[in-house]
């Protein structure tokens, strides 16, 4: 972000969605996957993605202008970054989270409506299954990059049983279990998540140590306790303050005395105007949920203390998206 706003920086920010939509179109159309390791002409790419020749040329030139593609004459190839991160056949593919962002664009275009009404807006639907798939796989994309940083920053030595609340595909449970050979984990999430979670866990050879419990954590009993560590990653921001407080209290009930709670989220400073991403994410929750928002450190600390936790402290794993962890210990009473 520019240190001082001026005409250029304001216009650049206002039009920044052009670049995002261009990237999203490239992923949605499969441009980077079609190119793979090849060099193709405009006509060849257009034929492969089933698109108009002229407009495909405009898109390819824009992607080349963004240095995601390399252009030589009338032929295009993937840049190193695109080949690694945007080709669906590569293990580092992050296209699912980019598709999830694409699904959010219509809502963000109505931010003024959400601010006036104080609640979520009606948005274009891309189909429940497509949206659920991009969300789950997108969360896997993001967590796969962040989880190794968490494992390095947080010691679970001596812990035996982990509750991964709202854990989706189980990415964090997988990484915590790989780093702690004696740790067992239960991923608690909506039943529709179970098939994807089980496939993901099996691919890491951890099906004997990570199991699934289905339910709505805002309403259903948190099965499988007692636990000695609970991991709540990006759970609070989907809920209002009362729901968050109740969830923290119910998590405490299934933890043993001395159990560790770890709340991972986009956490605001107590001034509520930093870090930037957390402030923007609150708007994302305004657009998409009835009461969700980001919370500041003091609010989360107060929830933990009210639920009987002690010694709350913040851990900064230095993640790319500025997420933080607040940890606390359940008291003996």
Tell me the pairing of strands 324-330 and 255-265: antiparallel
For the chain, the domain total comes to 2
Check residue 26 and give its pLDDT: 97
61 and 170 co-located in one domain: no
Asked whether the beta carbons of 294 and 282 are under 8 A apart, the reply is yes
Residues 301 and 159 in one domain: yes
Claim to verify: residue 77 and residue 174 sit in the same structural domain? no
- Are 69 and 132 within one domain? no
Is residue 1 included in any domain, yes or no?
no
Same domain for 153 and 280, yes or no, is yes
Q: Is 270 exposed, middle or buried (0-12, 13-18, 19+ CB in 10 A)?
A: exposed
Tell which residue, 135, 206, 128, 121, has the closest CA to residue 166: 135
pLDDT of 291: 94
- Domain of 27, CATH number, reads 1.10.10.10
Q: Residue 247 domain-assigned?
A: yes
Check whether residue 48 and residue 140 sit in a common domain.
Answer: no
Residue 101 lies in a domain: no
Model confidence pLDDT, tens digit, residues 122-180: 988 888 888 888 888 888 888 888 999 999 999 999 999 999 999 989 999 999 999 99
Report, as an integer, the average pLDDT of 18-37: 97
**Structure confidence by residue, pLDDT tens digits, 254-299:** 999 999 999 999 999 999 999 999 999 999 999 999 999 999 999 9
pLDDT at 332: 59
- pLDDT for 333 equals 44
Determine the Cα angle at 136 with ends 202 and 69, to 5°: 105
Q: Is 264 a catalytic residue?
A: no
Residues 76, 208 within the same domain: no
Are residues 140 and 64 located together in one domain of the fold? no
The residue count of the chain comes to: 333
Q: Please check the confidence at residue 1 and state whether its pLDDT lies above 90.
A: no
Are 83 and 73 in contact, with CB atoms under 8 Å apart?
no
Are the C-beta atoms of 234 and 293 separated by less than 8 Å?
A: no
Phi then psi for 161, rounded to 5 degrees? Answer: -140, 120
pLDDT at 154: 97
Assess contact for 255 and 330: CB atoms under 8 A.
Answer: yes
Give the C-alpha separation, 78 to 55, whole Å: 19
Nearest to 135 by CA among 90, 83, 191, 193: 193
* 200 and 320 housed in the same domain: yes
- Three-state SS at 236: helix
- Kind plus residue range of the DSSP H or E element containing 330: strand 324-330
Same domain, 309 and 179: yes
The SS3 call for residue 214 is strand
Where does a domain end: 92, 118, 141?
92
For residue 194, count CB atoms less than 10 angstroms from its CB and return exposed for 0-12, middle for 13-18, buried for 19 or more: middle
In a domain, 97, yes or no: no
Query: How far is the first Cα of the chain from the last one, in angstroms, to the nearest whole number?
Result: 48
Supply the pTM of this predicted model: 0.89
Same domain, 59 and 193: no
Domain span at residue 307 reads 128-330
Last residue of a domain, one of 43, 69, 92: 92
Helix (H, G, I), strand (E, B) or coil at 248: helix
Per-residue pLDDT for 2 more than 60? Answer: no
Domain membership flag for residue 176: yes
Assess contact for 176 and 158: CB atoms under 8 A.
no
Distance CA 227, CA 156 (A): 13
List 96, 237, 264, 313, catalytic entry: 237
Residue 110 resides in a domain: no
């Amino acid at each position: 972000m520019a240190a001082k706003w001026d005409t250029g920086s304001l216009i650049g920010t206002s039009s920044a969605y052009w670049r995002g939509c261009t990237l999203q179109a490239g992923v949605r159309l499969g441009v980077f996957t079609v190119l793979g390791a090849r060099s193709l002409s405009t006509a060849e790419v257009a034929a492969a993605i089933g698109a108009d020749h002229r407009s495909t040329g405009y898109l390819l030139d824009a992607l080349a202008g963004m240095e995601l593609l390399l252009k030589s004459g009338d032929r295009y190839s993937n840049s190193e970054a695109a080949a690694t991160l945007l080709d669906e056949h590569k293990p580092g593919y992050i296209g699912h989270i980019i598709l999830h962002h694409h699904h959010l664009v219509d809502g963000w275009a109505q931010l003024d409506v959400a601010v006036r009404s104080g609640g979520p807006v009606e948005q274009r639907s891309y189909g429940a299954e497509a949206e659920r798939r991009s969300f789950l796989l997108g969360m896997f994309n993001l967590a796969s990059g962040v989880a190794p940083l968490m494992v390095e920053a947080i010691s679970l030595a001596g812990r035996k049983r982990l509750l991964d609340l709202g854990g989706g595909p189980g990415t964090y449970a997988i990484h915590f279990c790989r780093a702690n050979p004696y740790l067992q984990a239960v991923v608690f999430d909506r039943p529709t998540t179970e098939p994807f979670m089980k496939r993901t866990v099996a691919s890491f050879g951890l099906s004997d140590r990570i199991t699934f419990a289905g339910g709505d954590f805002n309403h259903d009993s948190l099965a499988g306790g007692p636990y000695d560590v609970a991991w709540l990653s990006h759970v609070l921001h989907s809920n209002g303050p009362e729901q968050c407080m109740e969830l923290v209290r119910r998590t405490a009930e299934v933890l043993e005395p001395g159990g560790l709670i770890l709340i991972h989220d986009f956490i605001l400073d107590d001034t509520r105007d930093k870090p930037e991403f957390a402030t923007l994410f609150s708007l994302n929750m305004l657009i998409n949920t009835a009461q969700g928002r980001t919370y500041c450190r003091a609010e989360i600390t107060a929830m933990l203390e009210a639920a009987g936790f002690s010694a709350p402290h913040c851990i900064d794993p230095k993640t790319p998206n500025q997420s933080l962890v607040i940890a606390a210990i359940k008291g003996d009473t």
